[in-house]
Amino acid sequence: MPSQIVPPPDVPYFDRVVRGEISGASVVHKFGRNPTTASGTWETVWTVSSLYTFQTAASAVEAFSGSGNDSAGGTGAQKIMVEGLDETWAAASEEITMAGVSASTATTTTFIRIFRAYVTDVGTYQGGNAGTITIRDSGAGATRAQIPIDGANRLGQTQMAMYTVPLGKQAFIRHVVVTVESTKAADFALFQRRNADDATTPFTGKRLIAYMDGVTEAFYFNDVDGPFGPYPAKTDLWFEVKASAVNTEVTADFELLVIDA
């Protein structure tokens, strides 16, 4: 048998997490894009270009596409994976079989949060979703996520700059990157809201973590002096943006260290 590979003692803790050597710890990379902002109005950094509405009750979800090719046996996306938190706020995921422009069968999982979805099975080698895929509450309810296309480019993945810390976990924000298309400017706000399961008044208010004023092109934050946090379970984390011009293309990325509480 080959000998076990033991990293040198000076390997940073985060690098060992990435290697899967630290039990109960993982890295989560969240990234979002808003390609069609309004001017002077706050919006969430996600591809729907609006303020995101966080759910107060869990619901099964369904998916549909703008293209009939996104279906079982079709040339586009045949199945997608939805990731988030279930009604107990524990991490959950479920695969959905697409039905083209019609709504899919509803999930058996009831999601209180969705923060990622991506294409798993396709009908064309190196293909992706043929149309924009919308994930919504079952019964033609509120939109929870979107897998976009960019012209003929099939992206195959949501772009949502938001995350909610699962039950039994706590999170630290390690890196932040925001970008704005050239010659334009935007303000970015990174928010937290703890006790997201508090669904009766008085509610726990949202709080600013960081404000990036008048960003042009790019702004970076690295945890040289330590990360933001910790953020306990059931904390919503998300980016909002206010652009100086209509249809400003912006992105926001953040990386989290998620560990057992």
Q: What are the chain's domains? A: 13-52+161-260 (2.60.120), 61-151 (no CATH)
Predicted local distance difference test score (pLDDT) of residue 9:
57
Alpha-carbon distance 64 to 73, whole Å? 15
- The 10s digit of each residue's pLDDT in 124-150 is 999 999 999 999 999 999 999 999 998
Q: What residues of the chain score a pLDDT lower than 70?
A: 1-11, 151-153, 224-226
Predicted local distance difference test score (pLDDT) of residue 3:
44
Alpha-carbon distance 126 to 26, whole Å? 28
Residue indicated by tokens 């001017």: 39
The pTM is what?
0.92
Predicted local distance difference test score (pLDDT) of residue 10:
62
- The 10s digit of each residue's pLDDT in 177-199 is 999 998 899 999 999 999 999 98
Question: Residue 154 CB: number of other CB atoms within 10 A?
Answer: 23
The phi and psi torsions of 254 (rounded to 5 degrees) equal -145, 150
Alpha-carbon distance 47 to 224, whole Å? 31
Please list, in sequence order, all residues whose beta carbon lies within 8 angstroms of the beta carbon of residue 171, skipping any fewer than 6 positions away: 28, 163, 165, 229, 230, 231, 235, 237, 256, 257, 258, 259
